[in-house]
C-alpha cells in the first residue's frame, strides 16, 4: 500500500470541526449504534479530564477519505464523532434554556453547521448515513426541544438507530443537568464542557486520498485486533520526539509492529510499562508515557527495551518459541497451561521476572503464577481488580528489590493465594460449559494424581481423549429418574459429571443410559478417573456432588504452593 496518499496527525475536536470541512458517513456504513454504556463512558472521559486538570484525552482514530474536499467521507470513527455532535447539540439547547444565546450561537457555528459563502446557506458539519441523517438533522440538529424528544422516544414504532440517537441525547442532557446542579455557576459548567471538547479531546486523524487505501486502513483498524489507533498515537508521539534518532526509532518501531502480529499491541505496551515503570490503566497509558518520554534519548531507550520485551511477550503465548529453548521442558508446559487458562494479567509479572531475576528463578515464578492463576482466576473466579493490584505490587517488588528466592516472591503474593478451604469449596461447585479444553486439562491432572503421578502434566490431545459428560448434554427421559428433586441442567457441566474417554468410544455412546455407558465404555477404560465411575450403581445429584468433592480434595494437593 503506497503511503504517499496517506496522512495522519493528532488533532483536537475543535480543530477537526473548524473551517469549511464537513463530514459525511457513507450510506453503506452501519447505523448509529452507541448505547448508554458507550455514551456514559465518553461522558466520564470528558468530566474526568476536566476534574483532574488533564491537558488532553485521546478518543481514538478517525479515518477519512479526503478525495472530495471540502466534504470528507468518514470511514472509521463515525460513532464517536456522531455522539460528540449530539453532545454539542445538547450543550447548545441547554445554553438557550439558560438564556445564553451567544454561547448557543457559537456552538452551532463552530460544531454543527457553517455558512457556505457561495450559496449563503448553513451546511451541516456532520451528515449521517442515509438511514439516520434525516431523523438526526430534523430532531437533534434543528432542536425539537427536550419535551418533544421525550415524547418521540416513547414511540414504539421508532427505528432502533433513531431510538439510540434520541436516547443518547436524553442521556447526555441528564448528565449535564446533574453536573449543573452540583455547581454554583451553571454557565461555567457549559463553558468547561465546550472547552474540553474543543481543546482536550484528541484524535488521530488518518486522511487517505483514494478509496482503496481508506478501506484497507479501515479493515486493518477493525479486523486485526491490534488497537492501531493507540499504536499510531504512540508512533506519532515517539517520532515527533525522536530528533536525531529518527531513523533508529523508525526501525525499532517497524520491528515491534512485525512482532505485534502475534499479540495485542496496546495490551503489550501497557504490560511492559507496568513491568518497567509504574502501574497505569489502559485509559491513562498514553498520558503517562507522554509525560515521561520527553527527549530523543528517552524515546530511543524506551523503544530498545520495548523491542526486546516484544520477543519475550510473544513467546509467552507460544511455548515453542526459541526464547524457551534453554529452559527445562516444564517451562513450556506451564506456558501451555496459562494459554489454556486464558489469563494475561500475569504477563507484567513474567516480563519483570524475566528482566530482573536470575534465569534459574524464572521457572519457579512461572509455576507460582500458574498455580495462583488456577486457584484464584480459573476456579475461584475472584476479583480481577484485586489481582491487578497485587500484581502491580509484586512487579514493583521484583523491579526494585530483585529478590533471590521464590519464597520471598510468594510472601508478597500469599494474601491473594486462595486457602485450601476456599479453593476446595469453589472447586466442589465448579461448572464448565463451553470449556472442553480446560475441562480435559483438569481431569487429566486429577487422573495422574489418582494413579500416583503428582507432577503436573501437559494437556491431553483432544483428538485422542474426548470430554465425556456422564449425564448427557441431550437428555432423555431414562435419565430423569434420579433427578426428581433437582434440575438436571444444573448438573450437566459440573466437573463431577465429566470424565475422559477414548474419542472412538465416546462418539458411539451418545445419550445411552448410565448402565449402558458403564458396560460399553467405562468398564474398558484404562483411566482411573473413569474406572471409578463403576463404583456408583446409579447416577444423580448425590453421586455427582460426591465425586466432585473427592476431586476437590485432590485438587488441593495438585495445584498448591508450599513455601
**Contact yes or no for 22/124 (Cβ under 8 A):** yes
Any residues with CB less than 8 A from the CB of 75 and at least 6 apart, and which? 26, 29, 63, 64, 65, 208, 214, 215, 217, 218
Terminal-to-terminal C-alpha distance of the chain: 56
Q: What are phi and psi of 328, to 5 degrees?
A: -60, 150
Measured CA distances, 352 to 342, 356, 512 (Å): 20, 6, 52
Over range 305-314, report the average pLDDT: 95
Q: What was the pLDDT predicted at 64?
A: 87
Q: What was the pLDDT predicted at 455?
A: 45
Lowest mean pLDDT among 69-73, 166-170, 218-222, 508-512: 218-222
The answer, yes or no, to whether residue 288 has pLDDT greater than 70, is yes
**Contact yes or no for 374/339 (Cβ under 8 A):** no
User: What are 39-47's contacts with CB under 8 Å, separation 24+?
Assistant: 39/83, 39/167, 39/168, 39/171, 39/172, 40/171, 40/175, 42/80, 42/83, 42/84, 42/87, 43/171, 43/172, 43/175, 45/283, 46/193, 46/196, 46/197, 46/201, 47/179
Cα(218)–Cα(132) distance, integer angstroms: 21
Q: What was the pLDDT predicted at 478?
A: 77
Q: What was the pLDDT predicted at 102?
A: 93
Measured CA distances, 202 to 137, 332, 430 (Å): 25, 43, 45
Cα(173)–Cα(31) distance, integer angstroms: 22
User: In the chain, what percentage of residues exceed pLDDT 90?
Assistant: 61
Tell me what the pLDDT averaged over the chain comes to: 87
> Cell 481514538 sits at which residue?
60
Cα(488)–Cα(288) distance, integer angstroms: 52
Q: What was the pLDDT predicted at 145?
A: 85
Q: pLDDT tens, 240-252? A: 678 888 788 878 8
If one compares 172 and 110, the residue with the highest pLDDT of the two is: 172
Q: pLDDT tens, 214-239? A: 555 654 555 444 444 466 567 767 87
> Cell 426541544 sits at which residue?
145
Measured CA distances, 389 to 23, 144, 231, 270, 403 (Å): 43, 48, 25, 14, 19
**Contact yes or no for 529/558 (Cβ under 8 A):** no
Q: What was the pLDDT predicted at 430?
A: 97
Lowest mean pLDDT among 335-349, 375-389, 498-512: 498-512
**Contact yes or no for 364/357 (Cβ under 8 A):** no
Q: What was the pLDDT predicted at 188?
A: 93
Q: pLDDT tens, 111-165? A: 998 766 777 666 899 999 888 999 999 999 988 889 999 999 999 889 888 999 9
Q: What was the pLDDT predicted at 28?
A: 54
DSSP H or E segment with residue 195: helix 186-195
Cα(87)–Cα(111) distance, integer angstroms: 10
Over range 274-298, report the average pLDDT: 88
The answer, yes or no, to whether residue 6 has pLDDT greater than 80, is no
Burial class of residue 253, CB neighbours in 10 A (0-12, 13-18, 19+): buried
Over range 400-405, report the average pLDDT: 94
If one compares 19 and 462, the residue with the highest pLDDT of the two is: 19
The answer, yes or no, to whether residue 506 has pLDDT greater than 70, is no
Q: Is the dihedral of CA 194, 198, 199, 200 positive or negative?
A: positive
CA 420-421-425 angle, to 5 degrees, is 110
User: In the chain, what percentage of residues exceed pLDDT 70?
Assistant: 89
Cα(89)–Cα(85) distance, integer angstroms: 6
Helices (H), 246-295: 246-259, 265-276, 285-292
Lowest mean pLDDT among 48-62, 307-321, 338-352, 503-517: 503-517
Question: Which residue(s) pair with 431 in the sheet?
Answer: 494
Q: What are phi and psi of 65, to 5 degrees?
A: -100, 115
Burial class of residue 178, CB neighbours in 10 A (0-12, 13-18, 19+): exposed
Q: What was the pLDDT predicted at 331?
A: 96
Gyration radius of the chain's alpha carbons: 29
Identify the band that residue 459 occupies on the pLDDT scale cut at 50, 70 and 90.
Answer: very low
**Contact yes or no for 468/446 (Cβ under 8 A):** no
If one compares 499 and 60, the residue with the highest pLDDT of the two is: 499
Identify the band that residue 524 occupies on the pLDDT scale cut at 50, 70 and 90.
Answer: confident
Strands 6-12 and 57-65: unpaired
Strands 6-12 and 498-502: unpaired
**Contact yes or no for 103/53 (Cβ under 8 A):** no
**Contact yes or no for 140/111 (Cβ under 8 A):** no
The answer, yes or no, to whether residue 329 has pLDDT greater than 80, is yes
The three-state secondary structure class of 23 is: strand
Over range 59-76, report the average pLDDT: 85
Q: What was the pLDDT predicted at 346?
A: 97
CA 277-273-264 angle, to 5 degrees, is 170
* Of 224, 221, 228, 219, the residue nearest 262 (C-alpha): 224
Amino acid at each position: 500500500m503506497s503511503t504517499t496518499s496517506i496522512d495522519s496527525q493528532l488533532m483536537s475536536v475543535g480543530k477537526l470541526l473548524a473551517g469549511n470541512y464537513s463530514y459525511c458517513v457513507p450510506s453503506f456504513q452501519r447505523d448509529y449504534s452507541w448505547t448508554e454504556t458507550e455514551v456514559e463512558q465518553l461522558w466520564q472521559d470528558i468530566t474526568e479530564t476536566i476534574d483532574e486538570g488533564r491537558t488532553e484525552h485521546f478518543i481514538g482514530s478517525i479515518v477519512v477519505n479526503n478525495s472530495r474536499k471540502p466534504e470528507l467521507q468518514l470511514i472509521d470513527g463515525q460513532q464517536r464523532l456522531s455522539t460528540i455532535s449530539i453532545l454539542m447539540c445538547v450543550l447548545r439547547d441547554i445554553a438557550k434554556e439558560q438564556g445564553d444565546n451567544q454561547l448557543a450561537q457559537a456552538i452551532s457555528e463552530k460544531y454543527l453547521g457553517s455558512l457556505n459563502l457561495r450559496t449563503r446557506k448553513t451546511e451541516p458539519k456532520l451528515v449521517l448515513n442515509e438511514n439516520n441523517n434525516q431523523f438526526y438533522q430534523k430532531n437533534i440538529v434543528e432542536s425539537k426541544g427536550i419535551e418533544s424528544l421525550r415524547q418521540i422516544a416513547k414511540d414504539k414504532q421508532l427505528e432502533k438507530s433513531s431510538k439510540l440517537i434520541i436516547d443518547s441525547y436524553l442521556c447526555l442532557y441528564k448528565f449535564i443537568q446533574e453536573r449543573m446542579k452540583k455547581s454554583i455557576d451553571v454557565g461555567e459548567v457549559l463553558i468547561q464542557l465546550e472547552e474540553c471538547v474543543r481543546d482536550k479531546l484528541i484524535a488521530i486523524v488518518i486522511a487517505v486520498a483514494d478509496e482503496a487505501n481508506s478501506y484497507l486502513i479501515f479493515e486493518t483498524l477493525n479486523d486485526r485486533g491490534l488497537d492501531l489507533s493507540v499504536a499510531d498515537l504512540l508512533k506519532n508521539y515517539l517520532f515527533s520526539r525522536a530528533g536525531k534518532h529518527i531513523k533508529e526509532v523508525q526501525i525499532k518501531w517497524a520491528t515491534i509492529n512485525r512482532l505485534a502480529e502475534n499479540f495485542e499491541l496496546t495490551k503489550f505496551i501497557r504490560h511492559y510499562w507496568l513491568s518497567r515503570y509504574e502501574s497505569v490503566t489502559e485509559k491513562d497509558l498514553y498520558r503517562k508515557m507522554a509525560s515521561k518520554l520527553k527527549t530523543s534519548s528517552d524515546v530511543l531507550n524506551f523503544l530498545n527495551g520495548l523491542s526486546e520485551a516484544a520477543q519475550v511477550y510473544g513467546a509467552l503465548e507460544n511455548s515453542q518459541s526459541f526464547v524457551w529453548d534453554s529452559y527445562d521442558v516444564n517451562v513450556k508446559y506451564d506456558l501451555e497451561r496459562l494459554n489454556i487458562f486464558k489469563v494475561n494479567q500475569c504477563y507484567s509479572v513474567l516480563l519483570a521476572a524475566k528482566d530482573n531475576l536470575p534465569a534459574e528463578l524464572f521457572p519457579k515464578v512461572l509455576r507460582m503464577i500458574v498455580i495462583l492463576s488456577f486457584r484464584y482466576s480459573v476456579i475461584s473466579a475472584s476479583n480481577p481488580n484485586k489481582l491487578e493490584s497485587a500484581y502491580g505490587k509484586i512487579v514493583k517488588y521484583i523491579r526494585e528489590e530483585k529478590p533471590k528466592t521464590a519464597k520471598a516472591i510468594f510472601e508478597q503474593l500469599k494474601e491473594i493465594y486462595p486457602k485450601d478451604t476456599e479453593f476446595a469449596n469453589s472447586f466442589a461447585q465448579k461448572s464448565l460449559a463451553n470449556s472442553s479444553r480446560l475441562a480435559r486439562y483438569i481431569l487429566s491432572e486429577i487422573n495422574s494424581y489418582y494413579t500416583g503421578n503428582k507432577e503436573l502434566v501437559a494437556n491431553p490431545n483432544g483428538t485422542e481423549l474426548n470430554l465425556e459428560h456422564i449425564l448427557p448434554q441431550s437428555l432423555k427421559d431414562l435419565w430423569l429418574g434420579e433427578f426428581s428433586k433437582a434440575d438436571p441442567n444444573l448438573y450437566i457441566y459440573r466437573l463431577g459429571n465429566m470424565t475422559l474417554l477414548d474419542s472412538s468410544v465416546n462418539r458411539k455412546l451418545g445419550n445411552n443410559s448410565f448402565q449402558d455407558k458403564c458396560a460399553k465404555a467405562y468398564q474398558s477404560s484404562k483411566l482411573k478417573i473413569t474406572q471409578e465411575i463403576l463404583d456408583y450403581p446409579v447416577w444423580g445429584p448425590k453421586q455427582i456432588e460426591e465425586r466432585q468433592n473427592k476431586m476437590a480434595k485432590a485438587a488441593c494437593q495438585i495445584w498448591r504452593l508450599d513455601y
